[in-house]
Structure 1
Amino acid sequence: MTTTGPARQASLRERNLAIVARAVVDAPEPLSRADVAARTGMTRATVSTLVDQLVEAGLLTELPAVSSGPGRPAVPLAPAARTVVGLGLEVNVDYLGGRVVDLTGAVVDEIVLMENLRGSPASATLGRLGRLARDLIARVTSRGMRVAGAHLALPGLVDTRSSVLRVAPNLGWSDVEPLPLLGLPAGVPVRVGNEAKLAALAQLWGCPVVERTSRTFLYVSGDVGIGAAIVIDGELFSGRHGWSGELGHVTIDPAGPTCRCGASGCLERYAGKEALVTGLGLDIDVANDVLVDRLSAADAHSVVGTAGAALGQAMADAVNLLDIDRVLLGGVYTGLVPLLRPQITEQLRTRVLGAPWAPVDVSAAPVADHAALTGGAATSLRAVVDDPTPWIVAATG
């Protein structure tokens, strides 16, 4: 039998620090200390003490005072810029890179190298990414920033309990332990996750609050592979092993073409980037903006129609199962939303049982450019916001 004793004063303080930090970071407009007190139910004196500690630790900053009438002008609070930063890393089929993001959501540094990585050796590729990451870390720390942590995004099944990449069919990798191969400094904690899931988290934490469209959505990312992530009330649904969201391997036609995963008729074979470029007679390395322009031409309607119908069919299955009424399209699909939406929405209208009462909204993801890099960095920073105490302890020595 377990018992729960009274909360320690230290744990109560830690919880209150996190509540104040989240209130300021998640606010659509800068809040004053009085605003924070009103939103959290804490006394102004308590909030003022906690805010002072968060400011001293470089997590929050005070903006110029604003006068709204008689009395002392209010001092707005905001996340601090270029103090504590997160690092997002990614290997995908056509690029590898790193991005550094600060608490305001601004990108303060990045390196992205475009190249074909299909079939590349995992050890060599991750070793290169590690050198790139160490370069970024050195650059930002030389400017006085502290790196909270890093997240590595990979396009495949990642066992989040063991940090092992089980399989990434489009890279040709299987049973890889990626984190030791990066060789990041011991003081920078690093985790690994699925590319689409980290890109989905970018839609929650990697853009200004006013641009966040929903806290419940299905995120679908298009590249050579098709990834997806399920977000419910602001929480990522990962599944038992962390493998949820493999929409690209939903069967469209059991008698269809063979997929790299070994099955036949997967969605990737109808709506992935490889299917799109093949239908147009283009090379797989074509830039996304060029692909979008070609798909907008009149002679590409059949390619777009096939992809949109297949996407809509797979999304309808997901919506029927999950009861989600918003779909965000990312990756190459972001620029194709106007072209794909008619076919997708027609499939959703006819295949989703609840569509007459709850139509499904399909729109472009707010964070589109290498979203997994932003999501990885933002996820590391979110850990700081949710538990700022270690940073306050470090700041006070």
Structure 2
Amino acid sequence: MTRARTLPPGDAPVRQEGLRHLNLGLVFRHILSAGDRPISRTELVELTGLTKPTVSRIVDDLVLGQLIAEAAPVHGGGAGRPRVGLTLSRQGPAGLGLDIRGDHLAACVVDLTGTVRHLSFSPPIRPGRRPKTILTELATMAREATAAVADEGLTVVGGMVSVPGPVAERSVVKFAPQQGWRDVDAGTLLRTALDDLPIAVDNEANLAALGELYASDEDLRNFAYVSGELDLGAGLVLNGQLLRGARGWSGELGHVTVFPNGRACPCGANGCLQTYASVEAIFGPGSVDGPATIVTRADAGSKRTLAALDAAGTALGIALSDLVNLLDMDTILLGGSYSLLSSWLVDNIQAELSRRVLSSRWSTVAVRPAMLGPDAAVIGAALTVIEDVRQNPSGWLAHNSL
């Protein structure tokens, strides 16, 4: 006897509107995958298997909705007139990224091509400022960024906020030790300040990892993005997907134990990676110097600074070895302040990985600076917003027709 089963949600016949949605997404993905190379309508007919009239209607809709634009003619290599090329539009929808860092705020806007069209920073933030004060300043930066790109024909469709700590419900900052925040609903406060613009909040390491994933031209699908700053975290990507965990709080690499009887950590445990490899640990407790100062001292041959960098690299290598053994990642990206310090960290990290990772005997793990550098989180936040448009072009067209 066969047991009756419940059909999964959405398992129903495709209606005409649904078919149009699927076909539009198919055509748009081919234009997206072509990158900077203009693609012709004839190529789209061949690639999609759709009829020429169907492709023509979809292309017209995409052009009208400012998702694609006509570009330079495409030469087919044979006789006949060149064909009109199609590329992603540099006008239309744009994504807003906002970043709350240890020492300042940042705002970024990217267009549909992933190009940064606006990037701005606040003056240094004084320690101990109230959450509402910081978020009000961030909202002002968001309005200024939105107005700046509007003059270039871009419409900000939503924003993503990067914060140094775990986030609940894509809105509430559970704990941000740099700012001393606990249970701050940053998403709601910013949505209210920005006239109900869709705003979500995520951990900075997660957003930086997504930024590297979306911006990379290589086959980057299994990697850990490690960010130092004052709070040490990791964005974990497996098979091209961000690993969030059951409650969205994965990646707290700073609280992996590297020396069980080691230094006391503010979290209450001993020997956490945070106490050996965070930027504050390299500076020395209570230091207000930044990574640029460390670089200057290391270049000058400061023994104390070089010893602290060696210790940090070794501790990072121990923790990352456990991560690679568990998750089989092939790449480690050093981001945030670590991207500036990578010259002094990579060798020790690589040495520990070679010694401790089982698979290193036949396959090495690449360790290198993140491509987007210290601004990976704010750029990744903006790219996350625009990626939603890329994945659902019909949603933007429906919104844009209202």
After TM superposition, the score normalised by the length of structure 1 is 0.91
1:129 pairs with one of 130, 135, 138: 138
For 1:82 and 1:291, how far apart are their aligned partners in 2?
41
Aligned to 2:288: 284
Residues 1:228 and 2:237 are matched in the alignment: no
Q: 1:385 to 1:187 in 2, by over 3 A?
A: farther
CA offset digits 1:125-149 (Å, max 9, x no partner): 1122122212222333354321111
Quick check: 1:317 aligned with 2:325?
Answer: no
**Residues 337 and 374 of structure 2 are in contact (CA less than 8 Å); yes or no, is this contact kept in structure 1?**
no
Whether contact under 8 Å (1:215, 1:232) holds in the other structure is yes
Identity %, equivalent residues: 39
Residue in structure 2 matching 1:175, options 170, 183, 189? 183
Note the 1:156-175 alignment, pairs <5 A: 156-159=165-168, 161=169, 163-175=171-183
Change (3 A) 1:327 1:383: same
Deviation at 1:44, TM superposition (A): 4.2
Higher RCO (C-alpha under 8 Å, 6+ residues apart)? 1
- Tell me how far apart the structure 2 counterparts of residues 38 and 289 of structure 1 sit (CA, whole Å): 53
**Which whole-Å CA distance do the structure 2 matches of 1:270 and 1:146 have between them?**
44
Q: 1:201 aligns with which of 201, 207, 210?
A: 210
Contact 1:130 1:181 in 2 (8 A): no
1:109 corresponds to: 118
Residue 83 of structure 1, CA deviation: 2.2
Is there any run of 5+ residues in structure 1 with no aligned partner, and where? none
Question: In the alignment, what sits opposite 2:340?
Answer: 335
What is the correspondence of 1:346-365 to structure 2 with a 5 Å cutoff?
346-365=351-370
Secondary structure at 2:344's aligned position in 1?
Answer: helix
- Greater Cα offset, 312-321 or 258-267: 258-267
Please state whether the residue corresponding to 1:256 is helix, strand or coil: coil
2:252 paired residue among 236, 246, 251: 246
The answer to whether the 8 A contact 1:21-1:386 is kept is no
Of the three residues 60, 63, 70, the one matched with 2:68 is: 60
Pick one of 239, 261, 265 that aligns with 1:255.
261
Alignment correspondent of 1:88: 97
Structure 1 residue 155 and structure 2 residue 160: aligned?
A: no
In structure 2, C-alpha distance between the alignment counterparts of 1:37 and 1:194, rounded to whole Å: 41
Cα 1:156–1:358, aligned 2, differ >3 Å: closer, same or farther? same
| Aligned-partner SS, 1:265 | coil
TM-fit CA distance, 1:226: 1.3
My pick for the range that moved more, 86-95 or 33-42, is 33-42
Q: 2:379 aligns with which of 360, 374, 381?
A: 374
Equivalent residue letter for 1:27:
A
- The CA deviation at 1:213 is 5.0
Q: Which amino acid aligns with 1:292?
A: V
TM-superposition CA deviations, 1:45-97 (whole Å, max 9, x none)? 43332222111101111211032331231333222113211100111111112
- Please tell me whether the aligned partners of residues 82 and 108 of structure 1 are also in contact (alpha carbons under 8 angstroms): no
Which position in structure 2 is the counterpart of 1:270? 276
CA contact (8 A) 2:170 2:187 kept: no
The structural deviation recorded for 1:98 is: 1.0
More off after superposition, 308-317 vs 62-71: 62-71
* Post-superposition offset of 1:375: 0.8
* CA 1:65–1:285: 2 relative to 1, 3 Å: same
Equivalent-residue separation in structure 2 for 1:54 and 1:367 (angstroms): 30
Corresponding residue number in structure 2 for 1:191? 200
- Take 2:160 and 2:65, find their aligned partners in 1: how far apart are those partners? 23
Instruction: Measure how far apart 1:257 and its partner are.
Output: 2.3
Could you tell me how far 1:305 is from its partner in structure 2?
1.1
Aligned partners of 1:38 and 1:119: how far apart in 2? 60
Aligned residue for 2:284, secondary structure, equals: helix
Aligned residue type for 1:318: L
SS in structure 1 opposite 2:107? strand
Q: Within 5 Å, which residues of 2 pair with 1:44-55?
A: 44-55=52-63
Aligned length: 390
Paired residue secondary structure (2:122): strand
Structure-1 residue corresponding to 2:31: 24
| Contact 2:69-2:88 at 8 Å conserved across structures | yes
Match of 2:85 in 1: 76
Listed as ranges, the gaps of 5+ residues in structure 2 are none
Q: Distance in 2 between matches of 1:162 and 1:392?
A: 25
Paired position in structure 2 for 1:301: 306
> 2:277 is matched by which residue type in structure 1?
A
User: Cα RMSD (Å) of the superposition?
Assistant: 2.2
**Residue range with higher mean Cα deviation, 14-23 or 146-155:** 14-23
Query: Taking structure 1 as reference, are residues 350 and 38 closer, same or farther at Cα in structure 2, changes over 3 Å only?
Result: farther
The amino acid of 1:291's aligned partner reads: I
